[in-house]
């Protein structure tokens, strides 16, 4: 299973499956984590369930219920798209491309480190 990024809303160009409000079950619960009284006394955490697939998303990224509702729907839409389309999903393809880019960056950093070590060794030999 692939973890979805929690920064929803950045994928406006992707062709995602649509969600129907009739297929969604929405609840507002108390959030968890840091925040003290502001978190403990307000029900601004959104729990959204897509009934046909059984996918559940919990969103408590902001204090605003409306923003959390919007973000939860975006995250759920990406998860549902990935669930039904699998490897053909644009979300999956974007994640693979991102992963490949990250590995390439890591490889280049490792090569640069090796070059620096060799350069230091050569400088040490020149001094002797």
pLDDT by residue (tens digit) across 40-88?
Answer: 788 889 999 999 989 999 999 888 899 999 999 999 988 888 888 888 8
Question: What is the pLDDT confidence band of residue 9, given thresholds at 50, 70 and 90?
Answer: very low
E strand segments, the chain: 24-29, 45-50, 55-59
Instruction: Return d(Cα 5, Cα 95) in angstroms, integer.
Output: 9
pLDDT of 100 over the 70 cut: yes
């Amino acid at each position: 299973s692939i973890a979805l990024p929690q920064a929803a809303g950045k994928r406006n160009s992707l062709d995602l499956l649509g969600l129907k409000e009739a297929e969604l079950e929405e609840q507002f619960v108390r959030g968890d984590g840091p925040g003290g009284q502001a978190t403990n006394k307000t029900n601004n955490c959104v729990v959204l369930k897509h009934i046909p697939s059984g996918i559940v998303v919990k969103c408590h990224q902001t204090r605003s219920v409306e923003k959390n509702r919007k973000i939860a729907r975006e995250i759920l839409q990406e998860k549902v798209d990935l669930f039904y389309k699998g490897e053909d999903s644009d979300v999956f393809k974007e994640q693979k491309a991102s992963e490949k880019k990250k590995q390439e960056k890591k490889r280049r950093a490792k090569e640069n480190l090796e070059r620096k070590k060799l350069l230091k060794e050569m400088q040490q030999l020149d001094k002797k």
